[in-house]
Every structure is written in C-alpha cells, then in structure tokens.
C-alpha cells in the first residue's frame, strides 16, 4: 500500500473517531437533559464518513455506532414504550444507511480503480508507441543514406530528383523528432504528477 494511501487512511480514521466521540458526548448530554429529537441525526455524520472512507468495513463500524447509540439510550434516556420504539427504528436506520452508502462507495471506489488501471494501460501504450516511433525513425534514416549514395552514380537529373525526395523525407523525420521531444516532456509530466512509472 502506498505511503499516501496509509496517510489518508490514518486521517480518515482519526476524523471518524473524533466525530464519533463528539456525537457520543452530544448524545449523553441530550439524553441526560431530556432532548430526544435532535441528537440521532448527528450520529449520521460518522456513519456517512465511515461508509465513504472504508466501504469494506463500514457495516461493522455502523453496527458498532448504532449499538453504542442504543446502549446510551438505555443507560441515559428516559425509557418509555414510545422512546424504545423510536430509538429502535433509529438503530435500523443507521445500519441500513451504512449498508447502502458503503455499497455505493464500494462501487465508486471500484470504478475509480478501473479508470486508474485504464489510464495506466493507455500511458504504457503511449510509451510503447513512442519507443517504436523512435526505432522506426532510425530505421528509415539508414536506408535513406544508402539511397543517396546509390543515386550519386546515376545521371545528374535523377540524382537531383532522388536527393530532393530524400531531403523531403528527412524534413518529415526531423519534424517527427521534434514531436517526439515535445511528447517526452508530456510523458515526464505524467510520470511525475500522475505516478505513471516507465517500465
């Protein structure tokens, strides 16, 4: 796993833990002061963060948070049949939301990985094509010199005609060399900023 990915995972983990602790403290405060309507909504924040950042573990995190919520209600809340029904419904809302968000986040992550894979394949194909172009360029130049040498023994008009055509081809090859150098700058940029490695 790349270092940046580990660093990002640590940041997300800290953020989820911090928001969970804040929400738990808010829930305790609300329950001990008889406020039962607002605090469940705040629990959605760490649920959504966990489902987005770690879709493969989001259901476990969501069930844990929903379980903590349910325990807090039982310990600090004023129990009545109505409150038990409402908070039980909230428990299932948290779990369901975590499952749905983690599912879509997993699909999004999979698509992102597929796009990255396609970009790397495309870049590798460009690399291969550019190297082939360079080789072909050299392979064309060598026979041109032989053609010029052979043309020197022909009559002057034919020699001039062949020499002019060879020069035209050499101009085209020089333009290809220039384009190759420009493309090399783009390739270096892609390697540096998009983490494409030359094989």
135-164: per-residue pLDDT in tens? 887 788 888 888 878 777 778 888 888 888
Going from the C-alpha of 115 to that of each of 1, 6, 55, 103, the distances in angstroms are 18, 21, 18, 19
- Confidence tier at 1 by pLDDT (50, 70, 90): very low
pLDDT digits (tens, 9 = 90+) for 38-60: 778 888 888 888 877 888 887 88
Q: Is the pTM of this model over 0.85?
A: no
pLDDT digits (tens, 9 = 90+) for 95-116: 888 888 888 888 888 888 898 8
Choose the weakest-confidence range: 4-13, 130-139, 149-158, 162-171.
4-13
Band of pLDDT at residue 21, cut at 50, 70 and 90: very high
Q: Taking a C-beta distance cutoff of 8 angstroms, is the pair 69, 91 a contact?
A: yes
3-state SS track over 5-64 = HHHHHHHHHHHHHHHHHHHHHHHHHHHHCCCCCCHHHHHHHHHHHHHHHCCCCHHHHHHH
């Amino acid at each position: 796993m790349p270092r940046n990915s580990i660093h990002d995972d640590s940041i997300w983990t800290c953020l989820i833990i911090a928001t969970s602790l804040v929400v738990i403290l808010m829930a305790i405060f609300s329950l001990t002061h008889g406020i039962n309507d607002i605090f469940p909504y705040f629990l959605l924040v760490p649920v959504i963060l966990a489902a987005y950042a770690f879709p493969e573990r989001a259901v476990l995190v969501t069930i844990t948070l929903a379980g903590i919520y349910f325990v807090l209600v039982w310990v600090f809340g004023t129990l009545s049949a109505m409150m038990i029904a409402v908070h039980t419904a909230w428990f299932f809302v948290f779990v369901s939301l975590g499952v749905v968000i983690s599912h879509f986040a997993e699909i999004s992550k999979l698509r992102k990985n597929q796009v990255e894979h396609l970009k790397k394949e495309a870049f590798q194909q460009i690399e291969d094509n550019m190297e082939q172009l360079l080789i072909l360029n050299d392979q064309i130049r060598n026979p041109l010199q032989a053609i010029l040498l052979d043309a020197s023994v022909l009559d002057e008009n034919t020699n001039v005609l062949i020499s002019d055509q060879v020069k035209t081809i050499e101009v085209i090859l020089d333009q290809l060399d220039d384009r190759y150098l420009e493309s090399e700058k783009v390739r270096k940029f892609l390697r540096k900023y998009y983490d494409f490695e030359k094989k």
